[in-house]
Amino acid sequence: MTTALRRLRNYIDGEFRDAADGRTTEVVNPATGEPYATAPLSGAADVDAAMAAAEAAFPAWRDLIPAERQKVLLKVADRFEERAEELIAAESENCGKPIALVRSEEIPPMVDQIRFFAGAARMLEGRSAGEYMDGFTSIIRREPVGVCAQVAPWNYPMMMAVWKFAPALAAGNTVVIKPSDTTPASTVLIADIIGSVLDELGHSRGVFNVICGDRETGRLMVEHKVPAMASITGSVRAGMQVAESASKDLKRVHLELGGKAPVVVFEDTDIAKAVEDISVAGYFNAGQDCTAATRVLVHESIHDEFVAALAKAASETKTGAVDDEDVLYGPLNNANQLKQVKGFIERLPAHAKIEAGGEQVGEKGYFFAPTVVSGLKQDDEIVQHEVFGPVITVQSFSDEKQAVQWANGVEYALASSVWTKDHARAMRMSKSLDFGCVWINTHIPLVAEMPHGGFKKSGYGKDLSSYGFDDYTRIKHVMTSLDG
């Protein structure tokens, strides 16, 4: 006897719809490896319909006073709290995430972030008016860019959707968002929440639309003539493809891509405290985080002690079922990601040593053991490329200059951390590290008020903060004659 799969649908102009041509794809629970739902495999007709809805809704949404957009977002935040258990269940099934951690680590910051951008809606600041030429006054208008095509990733489907729709809507834009084809469930639920709020407050539900589909669907969205901006959180390859596609009609592009965060540990560090924090920051969400503490550079004088302590911490870290409150993380998101992580371990050079983990866990699902690999060199594949799994690598450095050189010696530049009791050294390192974020004696905390975004192949544009809000606006100069 087989269980019927749940049917997910697109959300376009306030209606839940199947794909126009009826195509679907199966959605798999990574904790079991079994399908639990079907979702539309949207094509050109579906993208056209969503873009038309967003385009039609834009003028009225743009012209609202900011306080009215704020009311919508504040009510959305309230509704997230009211329907938290539904969101938690959807995200846990989406990703195989431990239920307790989604409840404690994702719902509260998402609600806070929506409320932050609700406040930002009323802070559309520009330079003060002034006379820069005799007889003329200049003013600055900050305006929404228009319809935004947004593509969210599979590692944090709910939270990354929030990071995209909240600033876009707050600034007066309308949205068409596509979740990953492996994790559409929570985004479809978000559409129900936002749509109901828009309806209750008398606004067009075309302000927010969700399209399910694959890479081809995303390509159709980015290349569509309607959006003024394309925003993606994903791989470097996907970001390059989006930038290339968007260049054909000069769309704005907002990219948050991969990471390979260096964690620089100096000899004066409290090893026990550093290991405790770094292991959590490396293994949380199965290491599927662009800011994860995956690449440790430790001073040679404490290398052996640090590695032994980190390996012990890894052996004590649990992965497992969604309802087990003792686990730190769940499975990798999909079979391809499991294969990728295994591949990095299988291709390790002879000089590398697996200190802990290194293997798949369990007979079903895509679980992988918390892993520590030492003995690595700067040009090794696993040091240079993003694993996106619960794998922490360790290298030994001799001095500050070498630490900076190796830390910066990758193509990514999203996040980093420095561990030392020496304030002057911490300040030197924070200046020298070529990353969008530098944490000192911590790794991975984020707040809505501070920007998140990188350099180099980690992309450009900021999420969160007033900087992230600004990315969804355009600046217009208005000059008026003072003569009659």
Residues of the chain with pLDDT > 70, as a percent, come to 99
- Within a domain: residue 418? yes
Average pLDDT over residues 315-325: 96
Q: Read off the tokens for 398.
A: 């001799």
| Same domain? 323 vs 407 | yes
Check which CATH number belongs to the domain holding 345 and give it: 3.40.309.10
| Same domain? 413 vs 320 | yes
- Within a domain: residue 452? no
How far apart are alpha carbons 15 and 309 in whole angstroms?
54
In contact, 447 and 244? CB cutoff 8 Å: no
Burial grade of 457 (CB within 10 A; 0-12, 13-18, 19 or more): buried
| Same domain? 206 vs 108 | yes
| Same domain? 390 vs 346 | yes
Average pLDDT over residues 238-244: 94
- Within a domain: residue 484? no
pLDDT in tens, 147-182: 999 999 999 999 999 999 999 999 999 999 999 999
pLDDT over 50 at 413, yes or no: yes
Q: Read off the tokens for 27.
A: 């959605």
Instruction: State the DSSP string of 436-457.
Output: SEEEES------TTS-B--EET
pLDDT class for 125, splitting at 50, 70, 90?
Answer: confident
| Same domain? 361 vs 319 | yes
- Domain with 356 in it: 262-447
- Within a domain: residue 1? no
| Same domain? 242 vs 286 | no
- Within a domain: residue 184? yes
Task: Report the number of distinct structural domains present in the chain.
Answer: 2
Average pLDDT over residues 302-306: 98
| Same domain? 102 vs 206 | yes
| Same domain? 67 vs 179 | yes
- Within a domain: residue 453? no
pLDDT in tens, 64-84: 999 999 999 999 999 999 999
Amino acid at 124: L
- Within a domain: residue 428? yes
| Same domain? 249 vs 321 | no
Tell me, what's the pLDDT at 2? Answer: 52
Average pLDDT over residues 12-21: 98
pLDDT over 80 at 1, yes or no: no
pLDDT over 50 at 251, yes or no: yes
Dihedral pair phi/psi, residue 352, rounded to 5°: -80, 150
User: pTM for the whole thing?
Assistant: 0.96
Average pLDDT over residues 303-326: 97
Residues near 290 by Cβ (< 8 Å), separated by ≥ 6?
155, 256, 257, 258, 259, 386, 414, 415, 454, 458
Strand-strand pairing, 353-356 and 10-12? unpaired
In contact, 314 and 392? CB cutoff 8 Å: yes
How far apart are alpha carbons 333 and 311 in whole angstroms?
24
pLDDT class for 128, splitting at 50, 70, 90?
Answer: confident
| Same domain? 310 vs 406 | yes
Q: Which positions are annotated as active-site residues?
A: 256, 290
pLDDT in tens, 434-456: 999 999 999 999 999 999 999 99
Check which CATH number belongs to the domain holding 186 and give it: 3.40.605.10
| Same domain? 173 vs 128 | yes
In contact, 197 and 72? CB cutoff 8 Å: yes
Mean pLDDT of the chain: 96
| Same domain? 192 vs 292 | no
Among 227-231, 246-250, 302-306, which is the least confidently predicted range? 246-250
How far apart are alpha carbons 159 and 196 in whole angstroms?
20
Please report, for residues 263, 266, 327, 442, the alpha-carbon distance to residue 276 in angstroms, rounded to integers and kept in the order given.
13, 16, 15, 10
- Within a domain: residue 482? no
